[in-house]
Amino acid sequence: MAVGSGNDKGRHGRGARGHPYTDRIDAKIMNSDKQHPGTQIVAIDGPAGAGKSSVSRRVAGALGFAFLDTGAMYRAATWRALHLGIPLDDPEALAASTRAMALEFQEEPDGVRVVVDDLDVSREIRSPEVTRHIHLLDQIPAVRQRLVELQRSFGCRRPTVAEGRDIGTVVFPQARCKVYLDASLECRAERRAAEMETQGLPVNRAEVLREIAERDALNMNRAVSPLRRAEDAIYVDTTELTPDQVVARLVQLARERL
């Protein structure tokens, strides 16, 4: 999947190219609410570290659906702003950067590669620096509007499992299958730390716990699209569940509701 204007493509160096599967989205049709009825959307929301990304990817594979990691989109926009040295206290500049971003998700056997302006940043967008600053972009209405347009455009094209913070409440409110994944703060922090270790990133577990607690407070109390459970979403606490158990539960829910 490739999204964005492409105006700056190739300016930051050699990236990932030539993958045979690329589902390109026409930016001209991204702003129509009529294009996302939700009949084939599985909307998965929840706080940071609840396992949304890893579980959602597996659920999509089991159902034969596309997978949309909306959190990666906000991380990509944040990484781009940091990489280009855009002032993080300038909402207009950050919104302009997001609109100019050439964003591509490339499906691979071992996951999805995130490519920004022709540069593979799959690892970089998960860095502590991006995590610390992502809230500065995801509370800017113009940034959210642009990324929601991209998300809706992708969801209207093919059956999709989409995960994020406001998928069932804002992006796809008509989705027939909505799930709210949750887990204890300690469990979520440990999962995030383990993920970072797998990626070869430095880990300070106390710092990870503090950052997730802060993100919870920010996400639940923000003025724009706060984290909340949709009234018709099924609540699933994953604290004591294995990933296989969570995937099986969500696949069952999707097949019952779609």
The 10 Å Cβ neighbour count of residue 78 is 27
- The mean pLDDT value for 30-59 works out to 78
- The mean pLDDT value for 137-164 works out to 92
Which of the two residues, 33 and 157, has the higher pLDDT score? 157
What is the distance between the alpha carbons of residues 117 and 8, in angstroms, rounded to a whole number? 6
Which of the two residues, 194 and 222, has the higher pLDDT score? 194
How large a percentage of the chain has pLDDT more than 90?
Answer: 64
Look at residue 86 in the predicted model and tell me its pLDDT: 97
Q: What is the pLDDT of residues 203-240, one digit of tens each?
A: 999 999 999 999 899 888 887 778 899 999 999 999 99
Which of the two residues, 192 and 18, has the higher pLDDT score? 192
Which of the two residues, 177 and 39, has the higher pLDDT score? 177
Residues listed for the chain = 258
Residue 138 φ then ψ, to 5°: -75, 0
Superfamily of domain 2-19+39-257, CATH level 4: P-loop containing nucleotide triphosphate hydrolases (3.40.50.300)
Q: Which of 101, 99, 47 is nearest to 79 (CA)?
A: 101
Share of the chain residues as helix, strand and coil, in percent rounded to the nearest 5? 50, 15, 35
State yes or no: pLDDT of 32 exceeds 90: no
What is the distance between the alpha carbons of residues 26 and 3, in angstroms, rounded to a whole number? 8
Partnered with residue 108 across adjacent β-strands are 111
Q: Taking all residues of the chain, what is their mean pLDDT, rounded to a whole number?
A: 85
Partnered with residue 107 across adjacent β-strands are 112
Residue 164 φ then ψ, to 5°: 175, -145
Exposure class string for 135-174: b at 16+ Cβ within 10 A, else e: eebbbbeebbebbbbbbbbbbbbebbbbbbbbbbbbbbbe
State yes or no: pLDDT of 151 exceeds 60: yes
Look at residue 41 in the predicted model and tell me its pLDDT: 96
Distances (CA, A) of 28 to 50, 115, 256: 34, 21, 34
Residue 126 φ then ψ, to 5°: -95, 5
Least-confidence region, from 8-17, 176-185, 195-204: 8-17
Least-confidence region, from 13-22, 56-65, 142-151: 13-22
Q: What is the pLDDT of residues 50-89, one digit of tens each?
A: 989 889 999 999 999 999 999 999 999 999 999 999 999 9
> How far, rounded to the nearest angstrom, does the alpha carbon of residue 19 sit from its chain's CA centroid?
21
Least-confidence region, from 33-37, 119-123, 147-151, 161-165: 33-37
Look at residue 90 in the predicted model and tell me its pLDDT: 97
State yes or no: pLDDT of 35 exceeds 80: no
